[in-house]
Amino acid sequence: MRPTLSWNPVGDPLPATTDLSPAAELLDAGGVLVLSGAGLSTESGIPDYRGEGGSLSRHTPMTYQDLVTGARARRRYWARSHLGWRTFGRARPNAGHLAVAAFERHGLLAGVVTQNVDGLHQAAGSAGVVELHGGLDRVVCLGCGRRTPRTELAARLAAANPDFAPVAAGINPDGDADLTDEQVGGFRVVDCAACGGLLKPDVVFFGENVPAQRVERCRALVREARSVLVLGSSLTVMSGLRFVRQAAEAGTPVVLVNLAPTRGDRYARARVALPLGRALTELADRLDVPVASPRAD
């Protein structure tokens, strides 16, 4: 399955606004389910997929089928991912993540579902986050199912490739650095230390399905929520859009905060077109919710 790169708008577009009142009203009432996407992490230095300068304009994410069937594709993926992790793993929560954590501490949220794999919600202090697509900080063996920390794999890959130090052209939302085939060279891939099976990040690749139990957990959160607030997602892929559709079909209010139009606009009450860090910080100020300052490191 190749990545879904775009969508065709249906019907009249939802007029964008810079008025935060629709989002403030949801948060003030409480019971808000936050659904976040890659746009929330751009201010942490991680680009999004489809925004201005998004990574899909230059990069096609690895599919599950390519990873498991091709040794060359696997070598290329792990070389790029190993280098990308050095930057990705150092990313820190931005003002938007910290505001979401503050809303949760203040009792305004029913939950947080994220399409991101960067762990920045948790690093900001959010508890009980549902990682819809998994997390890059873990690795799973496709043979025995053993899960290990990404830091452990990074150390093994560094030992197997002591001279590997190319300069990447950029990094992508999936932690994959932009490298040429020449830069990948003879990168050595390591297998599971327990059984010798193939390893992959504990994330849902294109070509895989989100585990059914995880989908149902998210559906339950939508059912229980008073409203849904979508942050930084184009909702192009069905894995996130289905929850917005579910909310709309049940009459649950949906508000989007995203600079560009989204595939979910037709289901929403409003789309606020403001940068997320600014928007969420202003919302916190309006609701008198104290937010921690981003760490300088």
- State the catalytic residues: 133
Longest dimension (CA), the chain: 57
User: How many angstroms separate the CA atoms of 266 and 58, rounded?
Assistant: 29
Binding site listing for Zn(2+): 141, 144, 192, 195
Count of beta carbons in the 10 Å neighbourhood of residue 47: 21
- The residue type of 280 is L
Binding site listing: 37-57, 115-118, 141, 144, 192, 195, 232-234, 276
Binding site listing for NAD(+): 37-57, 115-118, 232-234, 276
Which residues lie across from 231 on neighbouring strands? 36, 257
DSSP code string of 134-166: EEEEEEEETTT--EEEHHHHHHHHHHH-TT--P
Distance of CA 294 to the CA centre of its chain: 19
